[in-house]
């Protein structure tokens, strides 16, 4: 298979994620968009891992695993924060998070 | 026995279908006007990703993906949706008004750049996917790596998670 | 280099800091003790200075004396290298003297809002910075000392200054920073280029000696750029037109003490930098820049004088006159001749004494009359005759009357600018003789203007009858409060003590200029030897 | 180097005496005296004047000794070199500047002159400014002033010369502005200093040029090199012009003469000192001192050259100033313009190559002009209660003040160039030389000048000493003469004249008779000298003396044509013109200012156009009217008055305008360029920076999404650019 | 098939990390068992833990090899290296952490609970930084970066009831996640090119030639973007002002100093080890970033009314100077001077900026405000604090003889050392910015020294708690000493050889 199949899929997911991050106002949805990006990275890593499989390393796999772990932690933290702001503001619209500016 | 070429065709078709589902799912995630729908679409993408991982003979990662993402993260998301009392249904106020005017160009620009370099860089480089070549010992190799070469980051990861848990609890708890 | 009594200069430079340390432990309320300690420190420093004067070997004034070098920042090849030669000596001592006098003056003249302790501490810190700049023989050390004076002066102006002090101090600060930032870049560039050029790059260091030996080899075009950086740095400090606009504001708003120190020493840091660093290190660039400097200097002379004529405020007038006087100094430097540079150095000291003195007078006038508006002042000679005469004396000295110190800065500078260095008139390298001659004439017109504004000032303020406002029996048509003449008293003891040395110095150096020329000349000769004759 | 050279020092030492070696004491003593006066003067019984006078006497004695020894030296050797003593003052590289003394004939003459006149003036002043609030300061300044002049005269090099030159400038400022409580006085002082200072530009530049040309500032060396100059003639000419500009300023030559009349604001002794032997003579002295520079630089006496800058300026000054002297009512101003005019003679003399007559004129002029000023002071002090207005407050004083009158007359005669008076021998010789050296225009100028001089002096004399006593003088005269005489109240055109003389609110105390001895003794001495001084160099038969010439000859420093041999015949035109001037002026004065002239005023007021020759012939009042209306109004006014107007408005206006304009320019520059442009750029850049900061603030919108967009967008753009660049 | 071989762990080399980890657990445990009113003890313990972790650093510096692998073995060595570079920076992080603990003592004590948790997070973050200094492969770098960031996100939001603090945390978190996502993508590309996660291997592969140039460029750019966020380089700085303003002040101090330093450390590691041959990518990119960062940071800072926010922009612009030095690595042999410049800058900046925040905290205890206007007339009632603040601000402005000048000197020197159009142009831009920067530092000084005290302000003398005094003393002495005798810091800079850099 062409490695580019996966890579382009990854790129596509990445860009969709970016779009989501920019467009979405709801904090939870932004977090979801981030997951898209992280998944695209993992697809990349695993594709590259196959690319270099002959050299006998599978660092890509390890990397991907670690990313999943970190992503989990990040989501946990992110949702905790979302809850926090919701508690304080009764909304999770990022638009309202602009008390400080300039 | 399937011929290698047949497998390749099958793989390509499989890849294509899954990829299509993932892309559509991803697009729905970022466009859906229903938070729960978006979350569900995300599950589809995650699952698709897990499938791709399998295709890339990363079984352990694929399983982890399913366990962690679909099993844990998605539940977290859904909890998040519930706890923040999001509207269960259509909610027009999920997007920033007019933000697509910024988001779309940025995303397309990125896509253009990435696509250009990837196509140019890897042109028709091939990889051996699942079923091609040996995958024996993948998982043991993985574990070897984790506990030798990458032992320290692994050790650190545990602290990352610990810190995240502690912090998240403090932040999220009512007081 | 004469490496005897190596501790002497360090002692003279850092003694004030010791005083500062002691003062930090004196409670703020105990002003007398604080002042006393500060003054004692300053006097002790001056004592060290006088000892230096005594120990200085005048027969070898072209050599660095009391030379010492120590490790300082070895990774960047910067050393703690200090030494004193004929060029530095007068300025070094002057800085000490001025500090003492300013402190004496401050004894009962601590400006609003008080806090003598802080005020005196600032003066001591300033003293260290000023003295250090003049003895530094290492570019980085020089830079550090050069900048040390910045903050104390900023606060002196900003805290103890006049109504518009905040603006003035900010301007002072930003201008100087602007100059020194570019200067620092230029220093580094010069170091790196000389290092790369050198046969043995490892030997490269920031000492003046290194640059004296290797600076002239810098390629001409490069050196012109580097000189440009230094030029901005020093020109701001001098200040040369068009970088001068901070000066009138700073002077006007600064407390008397600040003005005096600023005029007497701080401005000299810039010209000293030209003489000590920019010109000898980069002679090729100096040649290219000299006509530009000369033109700017002369513009400064005329411009400063015109600025003076426009002033309605005595202090501001004096401040503008500094622009003009420093123009003469820069004109002298720009000739690249021994005569011109000697004149410039003399001019530096003379300007320090005279303008410093004028600022003292202005301060005392302000204290007595609560105004410095020229049109409100009149008949000072009648009301405060001693003050009036001292002011007249200073005005005369300032306008370059022979027999007083000011003359020896101006007159030889003009002579020299008619006869600039040969490399400036060498037809093969672009002959600037005509330019310099025209500049000479314009500069000499500057002396006329100087006479104009100083005498005008003197006539308005000192002559005539005291205005009713201040004479105590006054019709008060301007609506100014009638101050009466109760607080208008003549020169008091502190003022006499603080001023007499300056007045005497102005006269003595005016009558016996060789006192200074003899010290400076050998060093200047050596410095200009790089230009041929 | 030339000075301070040991060998030379010894060489001259043999040929010189104690005084020649110690001439440096001459300026030093008054200089020290100045400090003594300033420091202790107030505590002394005579307020410091004793120190001043003593110091001047000491200087005078040493000067006399010096003169004696110089004359002795000249007697011994044919070409006596200047005796120079100099120690290094300071040294910059190859340029050594000494300080010391350079004694030659010119210096000797000036020393004597200055010391002598200073002494007399100081003695005179003890009375004149008695009781002044700044009595001590006055003497201090006077003494310093003399010290400055002496320093300059002795100067062996340009630097010392400038030193003395400027000290005089300073003291003139102090002295002219002595009564600085009044604005006018301080302004006159300012103007004097400033105008001179304008000229000093030339001195600075000129010195620079001399240094460039000769590589030295030593006067002897400069002169020697200039005399045999072969280098860049243009530059030398430029130098000479520059130096001459200084002289124009200092010596009140056209067009920088305007400060001089204003300087009359100072006390009269000051005027007399300034205008006779010091200050204003300094310019002439400088030209004489550096004569080779001017001679070579300005092509004086070069065949085919009939004009040169010095002569032209001198000539113009002679006429202009003389013309102006006509219309002055202030006696001191008449004398002031007269001085300007006489200085013009000297300059003209130097310009036409008549070095010796010009210098001799310095000598003679000093005595009679000093005397005239002191006489004027005496009149004002005693006779007209401190008024100098001839028309208002003088007249008829000759009987009441005989000594003053007599000395005035002698001096006037000397000034006018009446034969056998000192002025005659010097002035006539200048005129003669102009003719002899082929400067015909200046010969004519000299003659006209002589005529005009006589005329205005006659007028001044008449107004002061003859005719009816008016105003203050009337009080003075009437107080002590019998009151049956016709009272003077019908004289004035101004009602003020009839008021009781009140100055500064105090009734005046009139002197019983002529001025006290402190005033009269100097007058007498000076008058006598005005009479006899000329015989030092009286070329005319039967005297044929040439002492002066012999003593001073070596000071010229350059070959100049011998003065033409004096022939009485040649002097006839000038003598005739002097006589004519006297007679015409006397007649007119008698007519105009004589007695019984009340109809005149009516006439002139009634009838502006006057006609009829018969009336002109028969009616002496009509003659008055003619004079007033036609000559004075018609000729003198259009010319003289126009000249005066020009003087006051154009020249003076220029000077003032330069001052005002300078100030205005300063204000403009300050307002628009400094505060507007230069400062504006800086403040503007500050503002721009702040504004730019403000403009950037919207980026910091506070919205996370936009931040994200920026982050990704920037990454994308950066990547795009770098990918394109690198592939 | 390679049989598993147990890695050789050098416990001495790993000791600082172990001490921190153990200390972290200890704090957590202690927090469980002490009563509320004695919770302050967690802070004390944290302080000791941080100082304790310094001990092995000292022993490592004094004894043993210059370079050692904390974890070694075939294929393992060179991925987590303890060299002088690492030691110096570890020491910096620990000390900065210690000062932050000092700053936090009273803040956390008085404002919100959760002290124990706070210190756990702080120690975690410091541990992440310490690991960053030694990481030499992509995975370690990534994990270390997340390790130091994730606790920091939460610390920023620590004032739970404060809306601004929440906002600060969320913004920081989201932007941080965005940036790490971009960085990860870049890392994946780098891995794809090199086939290894080890930085030196990547360094050999990223050569900017061949048909994969585009991918290399993209990888490099994205990785730099990730770190540029961390060091708040414009235009990736947007979070910084908001977060700094909103976060608890000690946290702000921590972020602006330690976290930023960690970002720079990561960037240095990447540039020197992974991109040495990719100069044509990172130099223009970082040149632009540096120029923008200095300029925009400064210009916006001019307008600020809030001191913390102003310092946020100031720290942005300070970052620009560091970037200036770093951008010039491997240009005309300037890599050494730029590496040293960055390290020296980081150290001096840390001392100075922490000091400034210490003063802010001390003053805010009285005024309850960080508005610049509230500093009016501070000199009249708190001269000591004013002088300290003046020292710190002047040092930030780069005025000798305070530390900042030497930092700026080094940065300029690196730029000029590189020379050429890139070097000189950025040096000139830097010089201009150095001046603009003084303008707003001066504004604060002016407020303190020259303006009157705001009305109704309490002007009794300000009491500074001992811990703050200690922090002030440490920072003040360091700032002064670095300026007067820069030799000490320069020497530290000189020994910090980054193993594997400079092609060695």
Residues of chain C with pLDDT under 70: 471-487, 532-533
- Mean pLDDT calculated for residue range A13-41: 91
Those of residues 58-87 in A touching chain B at CB distance below 8 A are 58-62, 64-66, 68-77, 79-84, 86-87
Does the pLDDT at position D693 exceed 80? no
CA angle A50, A52, A56 (to 5 degrees): 100
Which ipTM was obtained for this model? 0.85
Is there a contact between C514 and D211 if contact means CB atoms under 8 Å apart?
A: no
Distance CA C170, CA D686 (A): 11
- Mean pLDDT calculated for residue range D261-288: 81
pLDDT in tens, D170-200: 888 888 887 777 777 777 787 788 778 878 8
Lowest-pLDDT range of D271-285, D546-560, D600-614, D683-697: D600-614
What is the rounded average pLDDT for all residues in chain B? 84
Q: Would D524 be classed as within a structural domain?
A: yes
Does the pLDDT at position D377 exceed 60? yes
Does the pLDDT at position D85 exceed 90? no
3-state secondary structure string, D614-681?
Answer: HHHHHCHHHHHHHHHHHHHHHHHHHHHHHHHHHHHHHHHHHHHHHHHHHHHHHHHHHHHHHHHHHHHH
Tell me which chains share at least 3 CB pairs under 8 Å with chain B: A, D, E
Q: Would A63 be classed as within a structural domain?
A: yes
CA distance from start to end of chain A: 50
From chain C, the residues in CB contact with D182 under 8 A are: 464
Which run of H or of E encompasses E183? helix E163-194
Is there a contact between B109 and D717 if contact means CB atoms under 8 Å apart?
A: yes
Q: What is the model's pLDDT at position D382?
A: 73
Distance CA A36, CA C431 (A): 73
pLDDT in tens, B8-64: 788 888 899 999 999 999 999 998 888 888 889 999 999 999 999 988 888 889 999
Omega before residue C113 within 30° of 0, cis: yes
Higher pLDDT, D318 or E256: E256
Is there a contact between A28 and B84 if contact means CB atoms under 8 Å apart?
A: yes
pLDDT in tens, C28-81: 888 888 899 999 999 999 999 999 999 888 888 888 889 998 888 888 888 899
pLDDT in tens, C474-499: 444 444 444 445 567 788 888 888 89
Q: How far B128 CA sits from the closest chain A CA (Å)?
A: 6
Q: How far D680 CA sits from the closest chain A CA (Å)?
A: 27
Q: Would A102 be classed as within a structural domain?
A: no
Look at chain D and report how many structural domains it folds into. Answer: 1
Q: Would D62 be classed as within a structural domain?
A: yes
Q: What is the model's pLDDT at position D5?
A: 41
Domain ranges of chain E: 279-504
pLDDT in tens, E417-465: 887 888 889 988 898 888 888 888 888 888 888 888 888 777 788 888 8
Q: Rank B113-122, D320-329, D537-546, E146-155 by mean pLDDT and report only the highest.
A: E146-155
Contact C245/D at CB under 8 A: yes
* Domain B4-99 class, CATH top level: mainly alpha
Q: What is the model's pLDDT at position D478?
A: 62
**Residue in A with minimal Cα distance to D705:** A22
Distance CA E138, CA E143 (A): 8
Are C and B touching by the rule of 3+ CB pairs within 8 Å?
A: no
Number of CB atoms found within 10 A of residue D603's CB: 18
pLDDT in tens, E355-398: 999 999 999 888 888 888 888 888 888 888 999 999 999 999 88
From chain E, the residues in CB contact with D694 under 8 A are: 303
pLDDT in tens, D192-222: 887 788 788 888 888 888 888 888 888 888 8
From chain A, the residues in CB contact with D700 under 8 A are: 101-102
Q: How far D664 CA sits from the closest chain A CA (Å)?
A: 47
Is there a contact between E195 and A101 if contact means CB atoms under 8 Å apart?
A: no
**B38, B106, B141 member nearest A18 (Cβ):** B106
Is there a contact between C76 and E409 if contact means CB atoms under 8 Å apart?
A: yes
Tell me which chains share at least 3 CB pairs under 8 Å with chain E: A, B, C, D
What is each CA distance from E211 to D717, E25, E193, E277, E280, in whole angstroms? 21, 50, 11, 16, 16
From chain B, the residues in CB contact with A86 under 8 A are: 83-85
Contact E213/D at CB under 8 A: yes
- Mean pLDDT calculated for residue range A32-55: 89
Tell me which chains share at least 3 CB pairs under 8 Å with chain C: D, E
**Contact (CB, 8 A) for D580 and D451:** yes
Number of CB atoms found within 10 A of residue D598's CB: 11
Is the sign of the CA dihedral D32, D33, D38, D44 positive or negative?
Answer: positive
Q: Would A101 be classed as within a structural domain?
A: no
**Residue in C with minimal Cα distance to D183:** C464
**Residue in D with minimal Cα distance to C420:** D212
Q: Please count the residue pairs, one from chain A and one from chain D, whose beta carbons lie less than 8 angstroms apart.
A: 34
**A21, A24, A98 member nearest D703 (Cβ):** A98
From chain D, the residues in CB contact with A25 under 8 A are: 705
- Mean pLDDT calculated for residue range E490-494: 81
Q: What is the model's pLDDT at position E120?
A: 93
Lowest-pLDDT range of A16-20, D228-232, E356-360: D228-232
Does the pLDDT at position E274 exceed 80? yes
Length of chain C: 533
From chain D, the residues in CB contact with A22 under 8 A are: 705, 708-709, 712
Backbone angles phi, psi at E442, to 5 degrees: -60, -35
Distance CA A15, CA B23 (A): 11
**Contact (CB, 8 A) for C273 and C330:** no
Q: What is the model's pTM?
A: 0.85
Buried b (16+ CB within 10 A) or exposed e, D654-671: ebeebbeebbebbbebbe
Q: Please count the residue pairs, one from chain A and one from chain B, whose beta carbons lie less than 8 angstroms apart.
A: 260
3-state class (DSSP) for residue E72: strand
Domain ranges of chain C: 7-531
Residues of D with CB under 8 A from a CB of B: 703, 705-706, 709, 712-713, 715-717, 719-720, 723, 727
The DSSP code for C1 is -
Look at chain A and report how many structural domains it folds into. Answer: 1
Q: What is the model's pLDDT at position B35?
A: 86
**Residue in A with minimal Cα distance to D704:** A94
Which run of H or of E encompasses D117? helix D105-128
Higher pLDDT, C347 or D563: C347
Q: How confident is the model at residue D681 (pLDDT cuts 50, 70, 90)?
A: low
**Contact (CB, 8 A) for A29 and A22:** no
**Contact (CB, 8 A) for D468 and D491:** yes
The whole domain housing D379 covers 6-482+508-582
Is there a contact between E217 and D697 if contact means CB atoms under 8 Å apart?
A: no
The DSSP code for D90 is E
Interface test with C, best of E428, E438, E496 (most C CBs within 10 A): E438
Those of residues 662-681 in D touching chain C at CB distance below 8 A are 662-663, 665-671, 673-674, 678-679
Structure tokens at E95: 């000390």
Q: How far D188 CA sits from the closest chain C CA (Å)?
A: 10
Percent of chain D with pLDDT over 70: 74
**Residue in D with minimal Cα distance to C513:** D90
**D703, D709, D720 member nearest B103 (Cβ):** D709
Q: How confident is the model at residue D678 (pLDDT cuts 50, 70, 90)?
A: low
Is there a contact between B56 and A24 if contact means CB atoms under 8 Å apart?
A: no
**B8, B29, B118 member nearest A8 (Cβ):** B118
Distance CA C85, CA B22 (A): 81
Contact C108/D at CB under 8 A: no
**D703, D705, D723 member nearest B113 (Cβ):** D723
pLDDT in tens, E73-128: 877 888 898 988 999 999 999 999 999 999 998 877 655 668 889 999 999 999 99
Distance CA D653, CA D198 (A): 15
Q: How far B47 CA sits from the closest chain A CA (Å)?
A: 11
From chain A, the residues in CB contact with D703 under 8 A are: 94-95, 97-98, 101
Distance CA D243, CA D207 (A): 8
Q: How confident is the model at residue D228 (pLDDT cuts 50, 70, 90)?
A: confident
Those of residues 15-44 in E touching chain B at CB distance below 8 A are 21, 24, 28
**Contact (CB, 8 A) for C129 and C261:** no
Does the pLDDT at position E256 exceed 70? yes
Residues of D with CB under 8 A from a CB of A: 697, 700-705, 708-709, 712
Q: What is the model's pLDDT at position D429?
A: 80
Torsion of CA D229, D235, D241, D242, to 10 degrees: -120
What is the rounded average pLDDT for all residues in chain E? 89
Q: What is the model's pLDDT at position E502?
A: 67
């Amino acid at each position: 298979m062409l490695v580019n199949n996966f890579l382009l899929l990854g790129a596509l997911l990445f860009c969709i994620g970016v779009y989501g991050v920019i467009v979405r106002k709801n904090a939870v949805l932004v977090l979801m968009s981030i997951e898209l990006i992280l998944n695209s990275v993992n697809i990349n890593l695993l594709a590259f891992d196959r690319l270099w499989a002959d050299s006998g390393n599978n660092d890509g796999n390890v990397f991907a695993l670690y990313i999943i772990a970190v992503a989990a932690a990040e989501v946990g933290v992110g949702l905790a924060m979302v809850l926090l702001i919701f508690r304080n503001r009764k909304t999770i619209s990022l638009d309202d998070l602009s008390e400080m500016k300039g | 026995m399937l011929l290698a070429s047949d497998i390749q065709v099958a793989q390509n078709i499989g890849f294509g279908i899954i990829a299509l589902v993932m892309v559509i799912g991803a697009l729905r995630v970022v466009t859906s006007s229903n938070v729960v729908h978006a979350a569900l679409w995300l599950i589809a993408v995650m699952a698709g990703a897990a499938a791709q991982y399998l295709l890339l003979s990363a079984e352990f990662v694929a399983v982890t993906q399913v366990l962690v993402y679909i099993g844990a993260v998605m539940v977290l998301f859904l909890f998040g949706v519930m706890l923040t009392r999001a509207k269960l249904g259509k909610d027009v106020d999920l997007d920033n008004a007019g933000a697509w005017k910024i988001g779309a160009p940025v995303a397309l620009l990125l896509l253009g750049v990435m696509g250009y370099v990837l196509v140019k860089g890897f042109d028709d480089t091939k990889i051996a996917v699942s079923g091609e070549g040996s995958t024996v010992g993948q998982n043991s190799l993985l574990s070897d790596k984790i506990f030798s070469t990458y032992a320290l980051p692994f050790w650190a990861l545990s602290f990352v998670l610990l810190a995240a848990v502690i912090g998240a609890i403090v932040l999220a708890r009512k007081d | 280099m004469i490496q005897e009594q190596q501790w002497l200069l360090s002692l003279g430079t850092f003694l004030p800091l010791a005083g500062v340390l002691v003062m930090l432990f004196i409670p703020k309320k105990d002003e007398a003790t604080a002042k006393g300690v500060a003054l004692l420190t300053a006097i002790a420093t001056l004592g060290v200075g006088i000892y230096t004067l005594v120990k200085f070997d005048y027969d070898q004034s072209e050599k660095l004396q009391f030379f010492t070098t120590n490790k300082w920042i070895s990774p960047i090849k910067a050393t703690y290298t200090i030494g004193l030669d004929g060029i530095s000596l007068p300025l070094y001592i002057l800085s000490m003297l001025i500090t003492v006098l300013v402190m004496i003056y401050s004894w009962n003249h601590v400006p609003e809002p008080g806090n003598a302790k802080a005020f005196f501490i600032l003066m001591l810190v300033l003293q260290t910075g000023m003295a250090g700049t003049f003895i530094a023989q290492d570019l980085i050390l020089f830079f550090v000392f050069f900048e040390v004076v910045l903050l104390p002066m900023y606060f002196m102006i900003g805290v103890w200054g006049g109504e518009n002090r905040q603006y003035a101090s900010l301007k002072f600060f930003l201008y100087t920073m602007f100059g020194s930032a570019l200067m620092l870049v230029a220093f580094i560039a010069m170091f790196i280029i000389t290092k790369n050029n050198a046969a043995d790059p490892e030997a490269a260091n920031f000492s003046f000696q290194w640059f004296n030996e290797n600076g002239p080899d810098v390629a001409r075009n490069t050196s012109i750029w580097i000189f440009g950086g230094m030029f901005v740095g020093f020109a701001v400090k001098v200040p040369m037109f068009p970088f001068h606009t901070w000066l009138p504001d700073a002077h006007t708003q600064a407390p008397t003490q600040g003005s005096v120190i600023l005029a007497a020493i701080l401005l000299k840091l810039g010209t000293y930098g030209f003489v000590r660093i920019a010109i000898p290190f980069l002679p090729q660039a100096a040649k290219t820049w000299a006509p530009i400097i000369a033109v700017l200097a002369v513009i400064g002379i005329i411009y400063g004088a015109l600025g003076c004529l426009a002033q309605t405020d005595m202090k501001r007038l004096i401040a503008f006159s500094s622009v003009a006087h420093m123009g003469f100094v820069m004109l002298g430097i720009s000739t690249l001749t021994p005569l011109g540079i000697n004149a410039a150095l003399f001019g530096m000291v003379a300007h320090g004494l005279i303008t410093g003195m004028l600022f003292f007078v202005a301060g005392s006038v302000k204290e007595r009359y609560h105004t410095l508006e020229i049109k409100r002042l009149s008949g000072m000679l009648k009301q405060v005759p001693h003050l009036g005469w001292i002011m007249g004396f200073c005005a005369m000295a300032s306008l370059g009357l022979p027999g007083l110190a000011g003359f020896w800065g101006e007159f030889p500078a003009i002579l020299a600018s008619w006869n600039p260095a040969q490399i400036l008139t060498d037809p093969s390298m672009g002959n600037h003789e005509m330019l310099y001659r025209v500049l000479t004439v314009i500069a000499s017109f500057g002396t006329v203007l100087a006479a104009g504004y100083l005498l005008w000032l003197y006539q308005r303020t000192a002559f005539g009858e005291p205005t009713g406002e201040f004479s105590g029996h006054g019709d008060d048509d301007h609506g100014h409060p009638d101050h009466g003449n109760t607080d208008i008293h003549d020169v008091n003891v502190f003022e006499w003590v603080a001023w007499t040395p300056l007045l005497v110095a102005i006269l003595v150096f005016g009558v016996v200029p060789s006192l200074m020329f003899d010290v400076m000349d050998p060093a200047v000769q050596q410095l200009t030897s790089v230009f041929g004759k | 180097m030339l000075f301070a050279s040991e060998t030379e020092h010894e060489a001259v030492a043999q040929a010189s005496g104690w005084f020649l070696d110690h001439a440096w004491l001459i300026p030093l003593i008054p200089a020290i005296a100045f400090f003594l006066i300033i420091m202790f003067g107030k505590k002394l019984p005579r307020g410091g004047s004793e120190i001043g006078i003593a110091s001047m006497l000491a200087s005078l004695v040493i000067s006399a000794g010096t003169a004696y020894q110089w004359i002795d030296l000249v007697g011994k050797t044919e070409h006596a070199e200047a005796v120079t003593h100099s120690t290094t003052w300071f040294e910059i590289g190859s340029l050594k500047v000494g300080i010391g003394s350079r004694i030659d004939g010119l210096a000797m003459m000036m020393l004597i002159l200055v010391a002598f006149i200073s002494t007399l003036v100081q003695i005179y002043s003890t009375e004149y400014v008695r009781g002044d609030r700044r009595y001590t300061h006055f003497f201090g300044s006077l003494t310093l002033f003399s010290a400055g002049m002496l320093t300059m005269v002795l100067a062996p090099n340009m630097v010392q010369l400038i030193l003395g030159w400027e000290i005089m400038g300073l003291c003139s400022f102090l002295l002219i502005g002595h009564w600085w409580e009044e604005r006018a006085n301080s302004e006159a002082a300012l103007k004097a200093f400033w105008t001179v200072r304008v000229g000093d530009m030339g001195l600075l530049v000129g010195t620079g040029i001399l240094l460039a040309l000769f590589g030295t500032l030593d006067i002897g060396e400069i002169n020697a090199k200039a005399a045999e100059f072969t280098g860049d003639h243009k530059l030398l000419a430029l130098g000479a012009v520059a130096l001459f500009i200084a002289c124009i300023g200092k010596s009140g030559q056209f067009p920088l003469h305007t400060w001089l009349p204003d300087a009359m604001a100072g006390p009269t002794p000051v005027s007399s000192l300034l205008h006779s032997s010091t200050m204003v003579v300094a310019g002439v002295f400088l030209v004489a001192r550096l004569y080779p520079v001017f001679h070579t630089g300005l092509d004086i006496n070069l065949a085919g050259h009939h004009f040169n800058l010095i002569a032209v300026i001198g000539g113009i000054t002679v006429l202009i100033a003389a013309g102006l002297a006509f219309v002055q009512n202030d006696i001191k101003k008449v004398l002031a313009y007269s001085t300007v005019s006489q200085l013009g003679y000297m300059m003209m003399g130097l310009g036409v190559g008549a070095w010796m007559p010009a210098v001799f004129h310095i000598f003679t002029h000093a005595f009679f002009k000093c005397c005239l000023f002191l006489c004027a002071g005496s009149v004002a002090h005693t006779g007209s209660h401190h008024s100098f207005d001839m028309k208002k407050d003088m007249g008829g004083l000759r009987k009441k003040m005989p000594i003053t009158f007599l000395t005035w007359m002698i001096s006037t005669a000397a000034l006018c160039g009446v034969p056998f008076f000192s002025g005659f021998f010097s002035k006539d010789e200048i005129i003669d030389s102009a003719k002899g050296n082929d400067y015909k225009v200046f010969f004519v100028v000299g003659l006209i000048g002589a005529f005009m001089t006589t005329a205005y002096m006659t007028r001044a004399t008449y107004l002061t000493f003859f005719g009816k006593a008016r105003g203050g003088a009337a009080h003075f005269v009437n107080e002590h003469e019998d009151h049956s005489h016709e009272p003077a109240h019908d004289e004035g055109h101004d009602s003020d004249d009839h008021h009781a003389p009140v100055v500064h609110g105090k009734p005046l105390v009139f002197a019983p008779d002529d001025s006290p001895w402190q005033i009269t003794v100097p007058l007498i001495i000076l008058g006598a000298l005005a009479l006899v001084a000329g015989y030092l160099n009286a070329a005319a038969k039967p005297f044929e003396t040439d002492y002066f010439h012999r003593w001073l000859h070596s000071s010229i420093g350059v070959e100049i044509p011998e003065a033409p041999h004096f022939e009485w015949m040649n002097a006839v035109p000038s003598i005739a013109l002097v006589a004519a001037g006297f007679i015409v002026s006397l007649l007119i004065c008698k007519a105009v200012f004589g007695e019984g002239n009340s109809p005149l005023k009516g006439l002139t007021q009634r009838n502006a156009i006057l006609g009829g020759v018969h009336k002109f012939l028969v009616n002496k009042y009509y003659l008055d009217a003619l004079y007033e209306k036609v000559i004075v109004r018609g000729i003198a006014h259009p010319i003289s008055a126009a000249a005066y107007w020009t003087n006051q408005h154009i020249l003076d206006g220029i000077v003032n305008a330069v001052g005002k304009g300078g100030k205005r320019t300063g204000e403009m520059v300050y307002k628009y360029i400094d505060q507007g442009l230069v400062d504006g750029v800086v403040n503007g850049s500050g503002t721009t920076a702040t504004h730019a900061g403000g403009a950037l603030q919207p980026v910091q919108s506070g919205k996370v999404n936009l931040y994200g967009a920026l982050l990704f967008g920037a990454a994308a753009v950066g990547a795009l650019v770098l990918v394109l660049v690198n592939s | 098939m390679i049989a598993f071989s147990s890695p050789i762990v050098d416990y001495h080399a790993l000791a600082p990390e172990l001490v921190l980890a153990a200390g972290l657990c200890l704090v957590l445990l202690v927090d469980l068992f002490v009563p509320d009113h004695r919770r302050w003890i967690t802070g004390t313990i944290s302080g000791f833990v941080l100082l304790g972790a310094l001990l092995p650093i000292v022993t490592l510096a004094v004894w043993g090899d210059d370079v050692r692998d904390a974890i070694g073995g075939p294929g393992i060595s060179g991925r987590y290296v303890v060299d002088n570079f690492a030691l110096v920076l570890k020491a910096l992080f620990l000390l900065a952490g210690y000062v932050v603990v000092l700053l936090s003592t009273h803040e956390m004590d008085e404002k919100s609970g959760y002290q124990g948790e706070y210190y756990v997070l702080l120690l975690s973050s410091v541990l992440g930084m310490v690991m960053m200094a030694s990481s030499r492969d992509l995975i370690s770098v990534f994990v270390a970066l997340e390790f130091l960031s994730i606790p920091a996100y939460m610390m920023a939001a620590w004032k739970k009831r404060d809306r601004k603090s929440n906002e600060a945390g969320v913004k920081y978190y989201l932007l941080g996640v965005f940036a790490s996502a971009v960085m990860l993508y870049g890392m994946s590309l780098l891995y794809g090119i090199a086939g290894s996660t080890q930085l030196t291997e990547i360094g050999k592969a990223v050569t900017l030639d061949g048909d994969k140039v585009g991918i290399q460029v993209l990888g490099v750019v994205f990785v730099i973007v990730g770190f540029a966020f961390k060091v708040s380089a414009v235009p990736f700085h947007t979070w910084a002002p908001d977060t700094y303003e909103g976060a608890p002040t000690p946290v702000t101090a921590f972020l602006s100093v330690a976290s930023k330093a960690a970002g720079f450390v990561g960037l240095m590691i990447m540039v020197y080890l992974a991109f040495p041959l990719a100069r044509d990518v990172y130099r223009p990119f970082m040149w632009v970033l540096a120029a923008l960062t200095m300029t925009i940071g400064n210009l916006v800072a001019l307008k600020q009314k809030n001191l913390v926010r102003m310092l946020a922009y100031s720290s942005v612009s300070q970052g620009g100077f560091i970037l200036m030095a770093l951008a010039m690595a491997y240009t005309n042999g300037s890599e050494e001077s730029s590496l040293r410049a960055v390290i020296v800058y980081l150290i001096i900046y840390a001392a100075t900026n922490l000091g400034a925040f210490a003063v802010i905290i001390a003053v805010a205890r009285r005024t309850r405000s960080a508005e610049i206007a509230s500093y009016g007339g501070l000199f009249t009632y708190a001269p000591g604090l004013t002088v300290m603040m003046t020292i710190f601000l002047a040092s930030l402005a780069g005025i000798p003889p305070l530390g900042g000048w030497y930092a700026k000197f080094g940065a300029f020197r690196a730029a000029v050392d590189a020379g050429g159009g890139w070097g000189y142009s950025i040096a000139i831009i830097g010089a201009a910015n150095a001046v603009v920067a003084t303008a707003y530092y001066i504004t604060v000084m002016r407020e303190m020294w020259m303006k009157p005290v705001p009305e109704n302000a309490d002007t009794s003398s300000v009491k500074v708690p001992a811990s703050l005094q200690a922090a002030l003393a440490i920072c003040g002495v360091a700032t002064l000493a670095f300026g007067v005798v820069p030799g000490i810091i320069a020497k530290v800079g000189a020994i910090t050889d980054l193993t594997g850099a400079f092609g060695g």
